[in-house]
Copies of this chain bind each other. A is one copy, B any other.
Amino acid sequence: MQNYGKAKLVEEKVFKDPVHRYIHVRDQVIWDLISTKEFQRLRRVRQLGTTYLVFHGAEHSRFNHSLGVYEIVRRIVDDIFSGRPDWDENERLVVLCAALLHDLGHGPFSHAFENVFHTDHEYYTRQILLGNTEVNDVLNRVSEGFPEKVAQVIEKTYPNETVVSLISSQIDADRMDYLQRDAYYTGVSYGHFDMERILRVMRPRKNKVVIKASGMHAVEDYIMSRYQMYLQVYFHPVSRSAEVVLNHILKRVKQLSIEGYQFAVEPTHFKPFFKGQISLEDYLSLDEYILYTYFQSWMKEKDPILSDLCSRFVNRNLFKYANLNPEEDPEKFNQIKNLLVEAGMDPDYYLYHDCTSDLPYDFYRPGEESTRIPIFLEKPNGEIRELSQESLVVDAIAGRIKTDHKVYYPKELLNRGKGSHIKQELLEALRSK
């Protein structure tokens, strides 16, 4: 079994991929990992959560993206790094596995789910790698400590930072795949950059990956793509509105369960999460299909809040939004609250304030993000410089983002306001986006 890690398929397998054209698999280990049920489960978790409710094309799954990240890393190690002095060929398999499996712990609608149930997909990635799973079986066959190594790469504690950088840094395979893939599926014209050029000028260095300075403009273009994708796609207010509704559904289910409410359709799969005693099997039994199935059943629950919120989510009747910062304008926020109460709607479930800096935002800001390995440029004379020291564009935009405050509320409020005592001004405020 000691050669399993080096076993090659008799014939290379390829997956047709719309973003990278083909995904090439030559290693038996990779092939076996893809066939595990834990990896196949990623087909039932969308890459972009609720975004498909705004960009209808974005129905792609994390399975899709995970293959893409693997393929990018494969190209880097096989076509670019292989044979170069600072690259250790023995790291090849561990980085390929880490690339493929980096999102393994993601559950359905991760952001909302983790927010309500305080789970952590990184924790579960580790559990799946090291627990009693098909993935662990495969990795263990490579060598005894191998699953732990893969986990370390994903968790950024692996000693060789060159390896870690390929998966987690400001210009890793993860981001390079998702920017292009999300752009492809949404159909937006941002998200394109010359990845081939960037790969061609990536070089392994001692505990580092550098980009040759001649590729700086391609990297700038990548940074700008990221900036645009965040503003245009990832932070889209309608998608955030769907997140709010989803969040409130989960919050309501949890609350009803605490209160001993008698569900017509019991939240069986959720019970371990209410108690906070979650086995790996419990975790893996969840996916977005199952959540949706519950939501559809619950549209008929007696509890009016749960049934209403589920209808809104399933039938895409989402909350409206308005630019409003409750801290700056507490009075207006209170007026909205009062109006809701008057209308018989509980503000806990029908009003929400968020701002984009609450979101998992990682637009390039050196210094602030201590855990992110920055982008290093290597000049012709060998000097290594952090990107924003060299690039006017990146320096200019790094850390200059406005925080965007929004409140979300049901559109029925607008009609409700008509002819009532509500101030015209408030209506105006709500309507303005």
Contacts and interface: CB of A to CB of B under 8 A. Distances in A.
Interface string A19-60: 101100000000000010100100110000000100111011
Contacts of A67: 56
B37 A315 contact: yes
A277 interface: no
Contacts of A19: 187
A56 B63 contact: yes
A192 interface: yes
A289 interface: yes
Interface stretch (A224-232, A336-344, A419-427): A224-232
Interface of A: 14-19, 21-22, 35, 37, 40, 43-44, 52, 55-57, 59-61, 63-64, 67, 184-190, 192-194, 196-197, 200, 217-218, 220-221, 224, 227-228, 231-232, 285, 287-290, 292-293, 296, 314-317, 380-381, 392-393, 396-397, 400-402, 432-433
A401 B184 CA distance: 32
A228 B232 contact: no
A397 B401 contact: no
Nearest to A18: B187
Contacts of A220: 228
Nearest to A227: B393
Given A292-B44, A392-B400, A396-B400, A187 B16 contact: yes
A365 to B, nearest CB: 13
A221 B190 contact: yes
Oligomer copy total: 4
B37 A314 contact: yes
Contacts of A194: 188-190
A351 B402 CA distance: 49
Contacts of A288: 289
Contacts of A232: 217
A190 B59 CA distance: 22
A296 to B, nearest CB: 7
B16 A55 contact: yes
25 contacts: A14-B200, A16-B57, A16-B186, A17-B56, A18-B184, A18-B186, A19-B187, A35-B317, A43-B56, A56-B61, A57-B64, A59-B61, A59-B64, A188-B194, A189-B192, A189-B193, A189-B218, A192-B192, A224-B224, A227-B393, A289-B289, A289-B296, A293-B293, A392-B400, A393-B396
B316 A40 contact: yes
A264 B50 CA distance: 32
Nearest to A223: B224
A223 to B, nearest CB: 10
Contact of A59 (B15, B56, B60, B287): B60
Contacts of A287: 296
Given A43-B56, A57-B64, 16 more contacts: A16-B55, A16-B188, A17-B56, A17-B187, A37-B314, A37-B315, A57-B60, A188-B194, A189-B192, A192-B192, A221-B224, A221-B228, A224-B224, A289-B292, A392-B402, A397-B397
Nearest to A218: B189
A56 B221 contact: no
Nearest to A56: B64
